[in-house]
Structure 1
Amino acid sequence: MAKATKKQALGRGLSALLKDPSNDIQSVADKNADKVVGSIVELDLDAIDVNPFQPRTSFNEESLRELASSIRELGVIQPITVRKLDFNTYQLVSGERRFRASKLVGLETIPAYIRIANDQESLEMALVENIQRQDLDPIEIAISYQRLIEEIQVTQEELSDRVGKNRSTIANYLRLLKLDPIIQTGMRDGFISMGHGRALINVDDTNLQLDIYEKIVSDNLSVRDTEALVRNYKAPEEKAKPTKKTVPNFAKEAKINLSTIFDRKVDIKLSSSGKGQLILPFKNEEDFQQILKLIKSAK
């Protein structure tokens, strides 16, 4: 308890330093920046704006109330992270649930780590911090990956190094964004898992995707059942094997005789109507002239 009190007092002291206009810190090179940046500081909740780059769009109200109850009893155990915008003005980088819950219980201040970062760094910090959370749904993670790739302009390989995930894992999350929005919502609401979503990605037809999704939900299908169902839908229909045409005897005999006469393989093709073609192959002009001579001599 003594340590906690000392830390809290130190935080209040630094907070007072930040409220002194003569000590307005805008960069890590400014005077007293080393005392503030990276330290735990007690900040007024009213001085903190919500991060517009926050990838998370929904917060479970019941979970938020539970956190608020814990904060009421124990205080904010893990500080939030903010970046300094202007004099005594900050923007949330990570810890929005703690920020919201603290407001719910009526706290006036909150412990915070102060960072000095530009918009791009702030976006990256917020997205990466959120990706590492355990309670994000697969679509929230996929959107975070997509935003990092598009807005920070990194490749999947570079992103893999930054977030410590295999490139194949990132690719699997990104593919979920190709699903119909209804299915994405179902995944966010917990009706289906990421495994179900990955199976549905293999279905190109959107209407068929939705049909299978409805069946998953109504029949409570497992991921394995869903994969089998998708395979069945994707299996090509067995095509009727073409019946082998019966070559009439006259054509068979003629084929044999002509092949002997012209000393080459002669082919005869017949249609269902009885019409046909006689095919006499030749190698060159000389060979062609030889065929003509044989035809003339047969007259």
Structure 2
Amino acid sequence: MAKATKKQALGRGLSALLKDPQNDIKSAEDKNADKLVGHIVELELNAIEVNPFQPRTSFNEESLRELASSIRELGVIQPITVRKLDYNKYQLVSGERRFRASKLVGLETIPAYIRIANDQESLEMALVENIQRQDLDPIEISLSYQRLIDEINLTQEQLSERVGKNRSTIANYLRLLKLDPIIQTGMRDGFLSMGHGRALINVEDPQVQLEIYEKILANSLSVRDTEKLVRELQEGKPEKKSAGSAPAVSRDIKKSIKEFSDRLGAKVDVKVTKKGNGKLIIPFKSEDDLNRLKKIIQGED
């Protein structure tokens, strides 16, 4: 307990140091800069602006509320990272969910690590931090890799070293961006896995890609089934007609599915048999997202 109290006291001391205009720290060479780097500092939330380079622009409101509830009970356990812009003015590098949730709770300060970085370094730090997240879909990761290459001017080899991934892994992600945008959206919504995408990328014709994509959805094709279908197509083998292929979906059903999708905030899929019965498929990206859908269905939201 004493150790935690000492850390908090140190944070308050550094906060006072940062508020002294005569000791304004702007670079690593400035006086007292060594006291700042590597330490946790309590910063006022209203002195921090969001990062314009943040790769993620969509934040799940239900997930934010749950994080806010945790922060209300336990406080901010993991400090955010900011870069210093000017006197008592900072910009987020990473930790925007914690920042937003802290505001929801009504906190006035938040623990933070302070970095001194230019815009390019800030973009790189935000992108690399974003890539390390566990809940990103393959397309989000691919886009972050591409931005690092385009905006930081990194080679795939340099990018491999920065993010700690094999070059072949990075190349496989980047290839997904060559898929038709509709297929990319399907991957982001959870209808396709990265394995499906890697199989489809071997099909050069975008229209054929979309045709196979529709078959994957209609018949719940596995990655192995998709690879086989693509291989047979490339070898010129005629496609086998499935006796259980899905019938056409009526206009009324399509309208109902759109209403479901709009209400749930997720792309709902449907499978209908020749007898007229069927089932709905509602994808979710995480346990939090599943709980959000559950509350909507139960009429709690």
User: TM range, normalised to the smaller chain?
Assistant: 0.7 to 0.9
Q: Does the C-alpha gap of structure 1 residues 142 and 74 become closer, same or farther in structure 2, counting only changes over 3 Å?
A: same
User: Distance between the aligned counterparts of 2:208 and 2:72, measured in 1?
Assistant: 49
User: Distance between the aligned counterparts of 2:178 and 2:24, measured in 1?
Assistant: 47
Q: How does 1:175-194 map to 2 (within 5 A)?
A: 175-194=175-194
Superposition TM-score, scaled by structure 2 size: 0.75
Q: Which consecutive unaligned segments of at least 5 residues does structure 1 have? A: 239-299
Q: Which amino acid aligns with 1:90?
A: Y
User: How many percent identity over aligned positions?
Assistant: 85
- After superposition, give the CA deviation of every residue in 1:166-197 in whole Å (9 maximum; x if it has no partner): 11000000001111112112211222111111
Q: How does 1:19-168 map to 2 (within 5 A)?
A: 19-168=19-168
User: Distance between the aligned counterparts of 2:39 and 2:212, measured in 1?
Assistant: 52
Measured after TM superposition, the shift of residue 237 of structure 1 is: 5.2
Matched, 1:4 2:1: no
Q: Which amino acid aligns with 1:146?
A: Q
Aligned twin of 1:256: none
Aligned twin of 2:241: none
User: Distance between the aligned counterparts of 2:197 and 2:120, measured in 1?
Assistant: 31
Helix, strand or coil at the partner of 2:29: coil
Q: Which amino acid aligns with 1:236?
A: G
Q: Does the C-alpha gap of structure 1 residues 237 and 213 become closer, same or farther in structure 2, counting only changes over 3 Å?
A: closer
User: Distance between the aligned counterparts of 2:168 and 2:230, measured in 1?
Assistant: 22
**Displaced runs of 4 or more, over 6 A:** none
- After superposition, give the CA deviation of every residue in 1:143-176 in whole Å (9 maximum; x if it has no partner): 1111111111121111111211111000000001
Helix, strand or coil at the partner of 1:123: helix
Measured after TM superposition, the shift of residue 29 of structure 1 is: 0.7
Aligned length: 238
Measured after TM superposition, the shift of residue 107 of structure 1 is: 1.4
User: Distance between the aligned counterparts of 1:58 and 1:67, measured in 2?
Assistant: 15
Q: Which consecutive unaligned segments of at least 5 residues does structure 2 have? A: 239-301
Aligned twin of 1:220: 220
User: Distance between the aligned counterparts of 1:139 and 1:21, measured in 2?
Assistant: 45
User: Distance between the aligned counterparts of 2:98 and 2:204, measured in 1?
Assistant: 41
Helix, strand or coil at the partner of 1:39: coil
Helix, strand or coil at the partner of 1:43: strand
Q: Which amino acid aligns with 2:4?
A: A
User: Distance between the aligned counterparts of 1:212 and 1:59, measured in 2?
Assistant: 32
Superposition TM-score, scaled by structure 1 size: 0.76
Aligned twin of 2:245: none
Helix, strand or coil at the partner of 1:76: coil
Helix, strand or coil at the partner of 1:128: helix
Helix, strand or coil at the partner of 1:153: coil
User: Distance between the aligned counterparts of 2:137 and 2:118, measured in 1?
Assistant: 28
Higher Rg of the two aligned structures: 1
Of structures 1 and 2, the one with the larger relative CO (CA 8 A, separation 6+) is 2
Helix, strand or coil at the partner of 2:106: coil
Root-mean-square deviation (CA, aligned residues, Å) is 1.5
